[in-house]
Structure 1
């Protein structure tokens, strides 16, 4: 008999254990809390679900939060997949499909607070979900709204994380949550110190949340973690208003309130002993009001002396929301280190931006430097050669869909097209206007307008895309502060390639030798058998061709329109003039100076790029007053010595 009873008990216990380890069993244990959930009662249900580790708990929580859980008359819960006169249901444990009459079920409707609690529990399940997308979603949810309850499950999920990037992200978030919510002060301080090497926006947000403060005022210095004691004498009116808001002082009477009290206490042509005829000044009204207050006929007048006395009798302070002073001290030190690192990173980022802008200016101006330096021609159509190069790249991409190949084809083709256009322009117009700078300026300005209109007639007024290859998409990101697009890096590299190529042509080839000879002394070069007319033609074509290649490079990140050349002609002339006319190194120096100068001004006034360009022009004008020949001045015709 004893054995039979013992065996029966074992069966019953086993049956109960098996029932409790099903999701439905857990729900039936807390049937009232599930059917009519409240913010406090649902916590018990969620704790049991989390502790169970059942895989079916995750989809149930998702459906519960979406109000897709219904209860049958017998108390069992189901997930509704389709609602109509007949409900399409799914078993919470097995997922088996079934149906039932709608009147036999009631919908479970958790409120907003309960749904947020369910969402927090759901995140804990998702942190160890087999699908990486669910784990990533859970981590993203914690990053958006981290709470103290998420620290333990997040930390526990790290050991089983197989994805290295997601594991690193979890470790970072654990550090964030530990710094804010850990119960161990030593752990919080260690986590905060660990944040001092991270300059991300999230890190700064975490440290600032630890260092949140609130202003207060009291009759004596309060207990707690005081951030600072404030000096109320800096703004007495604001300080007294703070006293009034804290109900520590009566509000000051307004002029209308004083007048109403005086009018209510007129007696035999006097108020407070002051004749009505004398109440035309503020001191007289205050004197009468003070007399009424002394006779208990009005509240005490809040004078400046009263205000100052009330301010002196109170302590104005700023209090940390965090009670532990060691934690806030560690956070302040970490934030100071982070801000210092951010400052250094900002300087690096600004330097990279300035180098990128300088390389663009160099590419845009080097062709102009060659033509202007050798020929003394003020070519106002130089920007249109840049535009022609960009449109050449666009046309090539219409025939070659592979963007890498199309760019490789467009670069030499743009040189050929703009080289030919430059030679044609020099032969038809420029050669007849040598030594007549004003006529040359007007003629090239007219040509620039004509080329713009021609581009509008062919390509329209809408901006055309010049698409970069996929390997140039995105940016090189070092951290949250320092980053530069791959296109700008490519332009920077291209600028250095052209610097080397032009130096090779000018220093190592016969054409370069003849160009330098004509630049320094055209008369002597002619007597040595060099044809200055031919050199001028080739030089103008070379400068125009380089402008075309610059157009392809610039078009990869800027808009390609008929007016795009006008955006660079002013900077090109500034670069040439500042650097030194006709000198490659001078052009590089000028582009660097203008690029860094413009980015520096933009940093001081980041909301207005046009203003930065304007200030840069003014600085260039000031610069050439002191150094008219530029940074690197040449002797000979290019320097105006002939």
Structure 2
């Protein structure tokens, strides 16, 4: 016996003969009983060893298995003991496998590093999952479930089920139950249990559940009569399920081909039959057409010197004699029938979930359009001004948020500061525009439109000169990161939820101002009948300035909200000006609730068109504009029409 092997045997006998030492080093004692297989593992011999280690229940085994899989275990040549080993130059720093205590160092040439191959590492990973499913650390349990998701195994089904009852974390418990159903469907052998798992999946909309059900319904295409007991999905019909060419290709793959005579075969037979310038008595000179050649060939067939052409129904006969069927890979028809019914129910649930998700998207987009357009609706309704620079107020608000974040790095605090500051900045810009330009162009809509358009271009260029042409970041706080996800289909980002809440707050604020304050009373009076309001002592100029400040300030706040998820550039406002005007016109000029209705209609319409034609967003914009043109023809005053002389 070699000296090293004798030494290992002696150490093992010493460990076994000393109860106290064995109790102090139970992992080492167990490892020594499998020392040879651990040193030279193979997939054939190592599985019983790993099973023995896993079934021992020793708390130190998971750490050993993890280190072994990561090539962090060494065996000291002098005595055959195993250690956690870290390579440092020409030395291994050793730690005891029982407790991890320092065990000194050993030269690189005096120890052997255990290097399991890929197959052995997979077996180790499977064994680790058994321990991790009940590990006190929730992160380790989640890691075990992720590993099980990537590589489901029938061997781990029983440990997974056993761990469900003792699981205290609700989310992890739900994940364990889901994995139990998924693995049962795939690997289970008990039909009632598999049927129960399929029934559970019929209430889900997750991608995993749909993939598992589709996995039960995979088929193979067979040519000819299926074997006895085959679970036939359907018999394919030519013209409905596949083309004639596809059917012939399947037949040809099985060396089942209809007899055929090509033109080359025909011509070869005719040439071979030429005798004294004739073919079976027919002059060669007369065989100048296809019809004549085929007719001559038929005389050869009648004489028995050429093979006959196949009948016209040869392909139909072949397909009748050799049906093409799809056969389920799953042998049990009860399982496939249940899977088909469950998948139909899941697809119905998915369709409803997609409708709900589309509704959330439409609501989110409508909130953005409402914020962008409500200021324009107020100023347009009160002053009749077509303000093409309204989008630049949105842009100024976004850049205000960016500047605040450069000064205040805390994103939550900076957002709290940026929202009111953006209102003030945009409101001041709106007042300046109204005082310096618009009031001097009163009742001259064409000049006002051109002037505000020119101002919008000028403001964009000024911002480019200050901030550059590249987009700048407006970062949202951590509590606005991510998305609220109901399932694999329905979800909406927290930023969009925040914008919806912001839109609802402004809706309530504007309704209160317009219905419960003196300014609101004056705005409504000027909107409905400016002449009568002036005769009652209301200053239309002052009301117009206040209204312009309010509408512009709201646009600035909208800019901060939009900048949290969109690029902040000098041209960002131009992307919302068209939608803002459409929202105002469709909803009804000067009406808060009309703007809300218009935003909802346009947002829902745009998302609906994009859903039907997701590959072409430009088409969605085009169809939406066409719809709005038709809508205005039917209802020119909008959804909520204003009353009074101004409405005329």
| Change in 2 beyond 3 A, CA 1:625/1:267 | same
| Change in 2 beyond 3 A, CA 1:432/1:218 | same
Q: Which moved more, 1:615-624 or 1:390-399?
A: 390-399
Mapping of residues 65-144 of structure 1, within 5 Å = 65-67=69-71, 76=80, 78-79=82-83, 80-82=85-87, 92=97, 97=103, 109-144=115-150
Instruction: After TM superposition, give the deviation of residue 379 of structure 1 in Å.
Output: 0.6
What is residue 389 of structure 2 aligned with on the other side? 381
What is residue 232 of structure 1 aligned with on the other side? 238
Q: Which moved more, 1:363-372 or 1:14-23?
A: 14-23
Instruction: After TM superposition, give the deviation of residue 363 of structure 1 in Å.
Output: 0.9
Instruction: After TM superposition, give the deviation of residue 626 of structure 1 in Å.
Output: 2.0
The question of whether the paired residues in 2 share the 8 Å contact of 1:78 and 1:89 is answered with no
Instruction: After TM superposition, give the deviation of residue 24 of structure 1 in Å.
Output: 5.4
The question of whether the paired residues in 1 share the 8 Å contact of 2:529 and 2:644 is answered with yes
Give the TM-score of the pair, scaled to structure 2. 0.86
Report the secondary structure of 1:318's partner residue.
Answer: strand
Report the secondary structure of 1:134's partner residue.
Answer: helix
What is residue 491 of structure 1 aligned with on the other side? 499
Aligned residues: 626
Counterparts of 1:373 and 1:89 in 2: how far apart (Å)?
A: 82
What is residue 9 of structure 2 aligned with on the other side? none
Aligned-residue CA RMSD in angstroms? Answer: 3.6
| Change in 2 beyond 3 A, CA 1:514/1:84 | closer
Instruction: After TM superposition, give the deviation of residue 384 of structure 1 in Å.
Output: 0.3
Mapping of residues 224-303 of structure 1, within 5 Å = 224-234=230-240, 235-247=243-255, 249-250=256-257, 259=264, 266-267=271-272, 275=284, 278=287, 281=290, 284=293
The question of whether the paired residues in 1 share the 8 Å contact of 2:382 and 2:544 is answered with yes
The question of whether the paired residues in 1 share the 8 Å contact of 2:266 and 2:297 is answered with no
Counterparts of 1:94 and 1:407 in 2: how far apart (Å)?
A: 51
Instruction: After TM superposition, give the deviation of residue 569 of structure 1 in Å.
Output: 0.2
Instruction: After TM superposition, give the deviation of residue 57 of structure 1 in Å.
Output: 2.8
Counterparts of 1:437 and 1:486 in 2: how far apart (Å)?
A: 41
Instruction: After TM superposition, give the deviation of residue 212 of structure 1 in Å.
Output: 2.1
1:39 is the counterpart of 2:43: yes
Instruction: After TM superposition, give the deviation of residue 508 of structure 1 in Å.
Output: 2.4
Q: Which moved more, 1:271-280 or 1:359-368?
A: 271-280
Instruction: After TM superposition, give the deviation of residue 573 of structure 1 in Å.
Output: 0.5
The question of whether the paired residues in 1 share the 8 Å contact of 2:236 and 2:325 is answered with yes
Q: Which moved more, 1:361-370 or 1:282-291?
A: 282-291
Q: Which moved more, 1:561-570 or 1:302-311?
A: 302-311
Instruction: After TM superposition, give the deviation of residue 512 of structure 1 in Å.
Output: 2.1
Report the secondary structure of 1:232's partner residue.
Answer: coil
Counterparts of 1:294 and 1:509 in 2: how far apart (Å)?
A: 110
Report the secondary structure of 1:440's partner residue.
Answer: helix
Instruction: After TM superposition, give the deviation of residue 150 of structure 1 in Å.
Output: 1.2
Instruction: After TM superposition, give the deviation of residue 306 of structure 1 in Å.
Output: 2.9
1:363 is the counterpart of 2:367: no
Instruction: After TM superposition, give the deviation of residue 145 of structure 1 in Å.
Output: 1.6
What is residue 4 of structure 2 aligned with on the other side? none
The question of whether the paired residues in 2 share the 8 Å contact of 1:69 and 1:77 is answered with no
Report the secondary structure of 2:202's partner residue.
Answer: helix
The question of whether the paired residues in 2 share the 8 Å contact of 1:575 and 1:594 is answered with yes
What is residue 555 of structure 1 aligned with on the other side? 563
Counterparts of 2:248 and 2:81 in 1: how far apart (Å)?
A: 61
Counterparts of 2:215 and 2:110 in 1: how far apart (Å)?
A: 50
Q: Deviations over 1:457-512 (max 9, x none)?
A: 12222222223333323222222222222222222122122222222222222222
Select the residue among 215, 220, 224 that pairs with 1:209: 215
Q: Deviations over 1:72-128 (max 9, x none)?
A: 778946354328666555565575636556666666554433332232222223223
The question of whether the paired residues in 1 share the 8 Å contact of 2:261 and 2:309 is answered with no
The question of whether the paired residues in 2 share the 8 Å contact of 1:200 and 1:479 is answered with yes
What is residue 172 of structure 1 aligned with on the other side? 178
Counterparts of 2:219 and 2:506 in 1: how far apart (Å)?
A: 56
What is residue 10 of structure 2 aligned with on the other side? none
Instruction: After TM superposition, give the deviation of residue 362 of structure 1 in Å.
Output: 0.8
Instruction: After TM superposition, give the deviation of residue 395 of structure 1 in Å.
Output: 2.0
1:391 is the counterpart of 2:396: no
Give the TM-score of the pair, scaled to structure 1. 0.87
